[in-house]
Structure 1
Amino acid sequence: MSAERGASNVSGEPEQGDGITVRDPVSAPDAEGRPRRTTRRFPLFTRDTARPEGGGRAAPGDAPAPARQWPILCVLLTVGLGLLLTALDQFRLGTLLVGVALLAGALLRWLMPHVGMLAVRSRFTDIVTYGGLGAVIVLLALMVQPHPLLEIPFLKDTLHFTVDG
């Protein structure tokens, strides 16, 4: 096989032909030497993955690491505070704080072009995941007994229907 088609020799090292080095069978270089995709299928073991959109630094590269990753630090610190409050017998307030932190993460992911490590998947998937989990946690925190702040009437009927059979 030739190097242009992404072949490698028996030892696993990429072949070199005409001064072109092919790193893997997925990304063959174009005429300028930049990798270009030759197929949409990934090999069995990927060596690298594309960063999610918005996965760039949230601050310039010369800023210290906490400043570059402030969006995820804010979400994680708020979740940590919520878990601490939950452990200190403030269950409703702590779980509300966890849910609000996830909703804030969804909002940051939606509004900001670069959110650092808060970007895990595509923007749409991150927003749906953070927002959905945050909304469910907030709703459950509002419905927790005793003295729920939110009562949904049909849930009690649904529970009686499933238990009474």
Structure 2
Amino acid sequence: MEVRDPISAPDAHGRPRRVTRRFPLFTRDTARPEGGGRAASLDAPAPARQWPLLAVLITVGVGLLVTALDAFRVGLLLIGAGLLGGAVLRWLLPRVGMLAVRSRFTDIVTYGVLGVAIVLLALMAQPRPWLEIPFLDDALHFTVQNS
């Protein structure tokens, strides 16, 4: 059996294929994001291969459950911590499986900003906020007072 290089193989009409550096007119496939390979070897079971994503999803799921059980602040802190944990995993690990959605930088910024925003909003939630930021408090009173 002869193995051919797909670039130098002839086209459907038997003519030699030209090697070009241009992007194709129509995309036939999607490139996997950087770091989107399996987090464990192929012989490991499916959940073990995607453990970074499962860790984030389980943390967020527990946070949603705690929020539903009427401890909203602790639940939201868990959700934010799960997203921040996803950002840390995406930063530290070379392969994170399906946790990789876009480029490493974009994923870290997205997970990090959403995680920090959720944690800060949970800490500032009324009644009896655990954290008070005067600038944000003034902005809230200004918008509520003038509407």
Note whether the superposition's TM-score is higher than 0.5. yes
2-side partners of 1:133 and 1:106: how far apart? 10
2-side partners of 1:89 and 1:147: how far apart? 16
Q: Tell me which residue corresponds to 2:135.
A: 154
* Cα pair distance change 1:156/1:76, threshold 3 Å: same
TM-score by length of 1: 0.75
2-side partners of 1:37 and 1:77: how far apart? 44
1:37-116 to 2 correspondence within 5 Å? 37-39=21-23, 43=26, 46-116=27-97
Residue of structure 1 aligned with 2:12, choices 10, 15, 22: 15
Post-superposition CA distance 1:115-136 (Å, at most 9, x none): 0000000000000000000000
Residue 132 (structure 2) pairs with residue 135 (structure 1): no
The two structures, once aligned, show a CA RMSD in angstroms of: 2.1
1-side partners of 2:46 and 2:73: how far apart? 33
Identical amino acids, percent of aligned pairs:
69
1-side partners of 2:25 and 2:104: how far apart? 22
Uncovered stretches (5+) of structure 2, i.e. residues with no partner: 1-6
- Compute the displacement of 1:147 (Å): 1.1
**Letter matched to residue 108 of structure 1:** L
**Letter matched to residue 68 of structure 2:** A
Structure whose residues are more often strand by fraction: 1
How many residues get paired?
137
1-side partners of 2:130 and 2:143: how far apart? 24
**Letter matched to residue 78 of structure 1:** T
TM-score by length of 2: 0.84
**Letter matched to residue 78 of structure 2:** L
2-side partners of 1:37 and 1:134: how far apart? 40
2-side partners of 1:74 and 1:159: how far apart? 35
Uncovered stretches (5+) of structure 1, i.e. residues with no partner: 5-13, 21-27, 31-35
2-side partners of 1:161 and 1:76: how far apart? 37
Post-superposition CA distance 1:6-53 (Å, at most 9, x none): xxxxxxxx7342475xxxxxxx7x5xxxxx7522x663xx43210000
1-side partners of 2:109 and 2:48: how far apart? 26
Q: Which 4+ residue blocks in structure 1 deviate beyond 6 angstroms?
A: none
